[in-house]
Structures are given as structure tokens and as C-alpha cells.
Structure 1
Amino acid sequence: MGTIKVLNKWANRHTYLPLDILRIVLGVFLFIKGIDFMGNTAMLAELFKPIQNMAGGMIMIHYVAPAHFIGGILITFGLLTRWAIVAQLPILIGAIVINFVGEMNTANLYLAIATILVCGFFIVYGSGKHSLDYYFKMQK
């Protein structure tokens, strides 16, 4: 817990508006992907076709859309950002793995790698000053 407090203090001293905008864009992107997966479950099932015979395959399909949807909202507003990103990591790692197990789609692979890198940055950086986490912390 002490490490998180140290990281939050560092992030609050070094916060910049472009980083907060990047966090918001990441959250909106994940939110839109969640809506896309909810509206097009056939596409999601097609993506999971290479690993459908693995244990928990159906659970994974039902985890992706809500995790993107809810995680995207939380990341956009900067509320529980690190926890929301940790919930995204298995999905993003799976997106990268699916490209190697199934049919290779370079655009999706680059998008998944870029998203996981940005998520890794925000796990370390936190939500920043322009977030609900910071607002609630200052209300104490």
C-alpha cells in the first residue's frame, strides 16, 4: 500500500493535461470496444474460436464485454483506474495471443500492443490530478 501512495504522490507532482487526456481516450476506446462486443457477439465468438475448446472459454467470452464496458467508464473518469486496468490486462494479453494462435491480423495486434503499453503506463502513473480519485482524496 505504501508503494501506491508513493506512486500517487509522484504522479500528482508530475501531472500534465495531455496525460489525463490520454487516460480519457483510453477509457473511451475500451468503452466503445465493450459496446462493440456487446452488440456483435458473433464477432466476439469468432475471435475466440481458436481457443474455444480450452477450459473456461465461455467464461472468457462473457468477461470481455462487461470488463471493457465498465473498465472503460472507470478509466475515463479516473475512478479506481489501476484496478480497472488490471481487469483489462488478461483481455489484452489474450488479444495478443489470439493473433498468434488464430489468424494473424496485424492491425488488431498493433492495437492490442499499443493498448497494453498505455495500460502499463497508467498502472504505474495512476489516474492523475484531473480524476475522481484525486477529487475524492482531496475531500478528506
Structure 2
Amino acid sequence: MITIKTLNKWANNHTYLPINMLRIALGIFLFFKGIDFMTNSAMLVELFKPMQNMAGGMLIIHYVAPAHLIGGILIATGLLTRWAIMAQIPIIIGAVVINFKGEMNSMNLTLALITLFACAFFLFYGSGKSSLDYYFKMQQ
């Protein structure tokens, strides 16, 4: 718990507009990816073809879209950012793995790796000053 407090203090002292814009863009991207998966569920099932023999494959398909929708909103607003990113990281690691097990699509792989690095950054950085987390903390 002390580590999270020290990370929050450091992030609040080093908050910059481009970093906040990156967090908001990441959240919006994940939200629209969730909408895309919900409206085009056949594409999501096709993406998971290489992993169809895994246990809990159908559970994974039903986890991805809602996690992206809710997590995207939370990340964009800066509310429970680290928790939302922890829910996204297994999905994004799965997106990277699917590119190696199935057909290699360099555009999807690049997008998944950029998203993974952005999520890893915000997992440590947190949400910063321009977030609902900071606003609610200051209201106490």
C-alpha cells in the first residue's frame, strides 16, 4: 500500500497534459474496441479460433467486450485506473499471443503492443491530477 501512495505522489507531481491526453485516448480506444467486439461478435469468435480448444474459451469471449467497455470508460475518466488496467492486461496479452498462434497480422500486433505498453505505463503511473481519482481524493 505504501508503494501505491508513493507512486501516486510522484505521478501527481509530474502530471503533464500529453500524458493525460494519452490516458484519455487509451480509454476511448478501448471503449470503441469493446463496442466493435459487441457489434461484430463473429469477428471476436474468429479471432479466438486458434484458442478454441482452451478451457473456458466461451467465458473469455464474454469477458472481453464488457471489460473493454467498462475499463475504457474508467480509464478515460481516471476513475480506478489501475484496477481497470489490471483487467485489460490479460486481454491485451491474449491479443499479442493470438497474432503468433494464428495468422500474423502486423497491424494488429503493432496496435496490441502499443496498447500493452501504454497500459503498463499507466499501471505504474496511475491516473494523474486530471482524473476523478484525484478529484475525489481532494474532496475528502
Task: Quote how far apart the aligned CAs of 1:27 are.
Answer: 0.1
The ranges of structure 1 where at least 4 consecutive aligned residues each deviate by more than 3 angstroms after the TM superposition are none
Amino acid at match of 1:94: G
Q: Which amino acid aligns with 1:132?
A: L
In structure 1, the residue corresponding to 2:53 is in which secondary structure?
A: coil
Q: Corresponding residue for 2:137?
A: 137
Q: How does 1:36-115 map to 2 (within 5 A)?
A: 36-115=36-115
How much does 1:53 deviate? 1.1
Letter of the structure 1 residue corresponding to residue 119 of structure 2: C
Which amino acid in structure 1 is aligned with residue 133 of structure 2?
Answer: D
| Residue 52 of structure 1, CA deviation | 0.7
- Tell me the residue number matched to 1:34: 34
Q: Distance in 1 between matches of 2:116 and 2:35?
A: 19
User: What does the per-residue CA deviation read over 1:19-54, in whole Å, with 9 as the maximum and x for residues that have no partner?
Assistant: 001000000000000000000000000000000111
Q: 1:121 corresponds to which residue? A: 121
Measured in 1, the distance between the counterparts of 2:103 and 2:36 equals 20
Structure 1 length normalisation: TM-score? Answer: 0.99
The 3-state SS of whatever aligns with 1:130 is: coil
Report the residue type matching 1:36 in the other structure: D
Whole-Å separation in 2 of the counterparts to 1:90 and 1:125: 19
| CA root-mean-square deviation | 0.4
* Count of residues in Structure 1 that have an aligned counterpart in Structure 2: 140
The amino acid of 1:53's aligned partner reads N
Percentage of pairs with the same residue: 74
Query: Could you tell me how far apart the structure 1 residues matched to 2:50 and 2:14 are?
Result: 43
State the secondary structure of the residue aligned to 2:91.
helix
